[in-house]
Amino acid sequence: MSANRTCWQCAQSIGASLFCPHCKSLQPPPSGYYTLFGLDRKLNLNTNELQQRFYDLSRQLHPDRFMRKSEAERQYSLDASSILNDAYRALKDPVKRAQYVLSQEGFEIGEQRSKDVPPELLEEVFELNMALEEMRSGDDSARPQLESAQNNFTNTLNEVDRQLEAQFRTYDESSNREVLTRIRGTLNRRKYIQNLLDEVQDQLAVGAQ
């Protein structure tokens, strides 16, 4: 949000405030999630602080508080509340937060493609697919293999999350674009592993019925 803004109502300088310090009118909300929350764009966030800011802003911006205000302020309230909810859902989740920052920096965030299998998982994925086919055909003998795969993928996800935390710290300290490139690669790997885990859990659930 520009620090040189003027109030739409009284034309006084308002800086980055959501409310005009002079006439108290609600201003057009920023589209940027971090700006709306009044936070620096960091990948490591204090989620308790984020939650408290969300509750505070939700009360300040709730449409019911603007029922008797001007049409402009009523609309700004609706717009701000919508952006606020989207922003909170994105920023409270580390993966979605990283995806948001990547998108803001111009990185393409697309669907995971089958050809993007992490090299170290190629053999495991091949064996997993065979076990899944056996389970789908009614052969329950593959269940122990799938349960083992479930544990392995869960442990791998935890390891990837620790790697992301370290990369987040590195980016926050340096704002280096190369770090974002590495983060995008880690997110792609994480998404692939999560998809595998979901598939295994779904098949185990079906087989248990």
pLDDT at 13: 94
pLDDT at 114: 47
pLDDT at 33: 97
Identify the bridge partners of residue 13 per DSSP, sorted by sequence position. Answer: 6
Which residue ranges make up each domain of the chain?
Answer: 1-92, 114-208
Pick the CATH number of 1-92 from 1.10.287.3510, 1.10.287.110, 3.10.20.30, 1.10.357.10: 1.10.287.110
Q: What is the pLDDT of residues 33-73, one digit of tens each?
A: 999 999 999 999 999 999 999 999 999 999 999 999 999 99
Enumerate residues 6+ apart whose C-beta is below 8 A from 121.
192, 193, 196
Mark the ranges of the chain whose per-residue pLDDT is less than 50. Answer: 112, 114
pLDDT at 115: 52
> Comparing C-alpha atoms, which of 85, 36, 40 is closest to residue 26?
36
Nearest-angstrom CA–CA distance, 159 and 133: 28
pLDDT at 184: 93
pLDDT at 208: 66
